[in-house]
Amino acid sequence: MRETLTISHIGAQGDGVARTASGPVYAPLTLPGETIQATVRDGRAEAVEVMAPSPERVAPVSPQYGDCGGCSLQHWAAAPYLEWKQDLVRQALAREGIESEIEATVATPPGARRRLALHARRGPDGGVVLGFKARRSWRLVSVSACPVADPRIVAAIPALRAVADAFLEHPKSAPTLHATWTLDGLDVDVTGVERRSGGLSRDAQMRAIQAAGEGGLARLSLAGETLVMARQPRVAFGPATIPLPAGGFLQAVPQAEAAMVERAVAAVQDAGKIADLFCGAGTFTFPLAQIAPVLAADASAAGIAALRAGIRSAKGLKPITAEARDLFRRPLAPYDLRGCDAIVFDPPRAGAAEQTAQIAQTKAGVVVGVSCNPATFARDARLLIDAGFRLERVTPIDQFLWSAHVELVGVFSR
């Protein structure tokens, strides 16, 4: 039976929400104020037909819109969309009883994503399907164009499809090609290959290497292990150029990275010594080292090795001390952080409760938290606030365009 519903707001996952007597109903690809007709099953609207569209609705630009699960909000005008992301941060803080100045969301442009995770499967005709997962499904949507991705990655999709073919050797393999555009071209790390049956055969490896060469890839690796490297992929962090580790972490959008770095650097201008925790290969480390000596720590030994290599490429930096250390199991204690009057930390989505508890006991006057998860950021912020810090301001950053994800930078002071 079809029902007529009115969308009241957008939920945290990017679906429109209609309030009904039976509880909320989630309707994908809808907007606040819209009247829709849909079949409702288990609180979800299916076969949605928009009867009265919102004036905020705009024409989507992706040929896969509506099927691909990657862009859930491409139909929303920019201004209300960015305000919604700002409100997501406000709501996360409010759940922890935190009030702060929340700046306008920093926008990022289309065609800027330098990192894509492309899934590969064998199609019914035996060919390779390369693309993104469909909305709420394991089915793949074949991608030939992507408005959020760097056009150079999009242009390489035929070559990536040929590379993926070699990794579909085993019927249980579900490879994902993590493609990154670097200063030296395309770097691809493949995960999801069946290993229990012996892993990738030597013949399949040779076919993958040949396809990588024919496609002009800078490097091809399997779960972080290099199969072939024509050119060392490099990225620039401030004044340094670092060799990107195979499978290593890198912010997805250069403009978003620049916005994060700019705010972190501005907050610690008066520091005498800075700690950069969860530093990766040095995204923040090198810009910070233009201000003061930096103590950098991260669990990734490969990331720390790349950071140390980058030190040799830059001039005019203050001293950098880098340590490979699991900050979840062995967080840096106040003794380790002595002398650091400013601390920057950029943990994974899980946040950094253990390390934050140690930061709270230091004498640092300024702390900058960078996060891809407002909920865990708010939890960690509560620890700092309870220890005497004040959350001065938070800047949401729209790194993942047209999605429900939001990044942020928060500045704390004593």
Please give the Cα distance from 109 to 92 (Å, whole number). Answer: 25
Q: What gap in Å lies between CA 230 and CA 214, rounded to an integer?
A: 11
Taking alpha carbons only, the member of 220, 247, 233, 246 closest to residue 164 is: 220
Per-residue burial over 362-395, b = 16 or more CB atoms within 10 Å of its CB, e = otherwise: bebbbbbbbbbbbbbbbbbbbbbbeeebebeebb
**How many helices and strands in the chain, by DSSP H and E?**
9, 22
26 three-class SS: strand
Catalytic: 372?
Answer: yes
- Residue 9 to residues 31, 84, 255, Cα–Cα distance (Å): 7, 10, 29
DSSP H or E segment with residue 265: helix 254-267
Give the DSSP per-residue string, 152-174. HHHHTHHHHHHHHHHTT-STT--
- CA distances 360 to 97, 266, 378, Å, are 18, 21, 14
Catalytic-role residue among 71, 279, 340, 372: 372
Structure tokens at 332: 């840096």
Q: Which helix (DSSP H) or strand (DSSP E) does residue 125 occupy? A: none
Alpha-carbon gap, residue 46 to 40, rounded angstroms: 6
Catalytic (active-site) positions: 372
